[in-house]
Amino acid sequence: MDNVFRIPSEITKGEELVILPRSLYEKFFVWLNKNSQAKQYKEIEEIISSGDEELRKGQTIIADSSKDALKLYGRKSK
């Protein structure tokens, strides 16, 4: 890779720094955001899938408020 430099930790007091061209940084930033979004969508899909499975098994708590749900959950988990 041309035009990418590493500054040794001795100079920066323990932290290594990297200098790279803005165009390369921007490509990396776009790549990072795409992968981050894909990971978030996958986690959301897993949570929804887990909730659907619990609903089918009758393991869900039905309550009028989060306060009531916490009370019911406490009784159910004991």
Residue 46 to residue 28: CA distance in whole angstroms:
27
The pLDDT value recorded for residue 77 is 58
The pLDDT value recorded for residue 1 is 54
- Domain ranges in the chain? 22-77
Segment-wise mean pLDDT, segments of 10 residues, the chain, 78 residues? 75 80 88 82 86 84 84 70
CA distances from 58 to 41, 49, 50, 52 (A): 26, 14, 12, 10
CA distances from 15 to 10, 12, 36, 62, 64 (A): 8, 6, 25, 51, 52
The pLDDT value recorded for residue 17 is 78
Residue 29 to residue 41: CA distance in whole angstroms:
18
> What is the model's pTM?
0.42
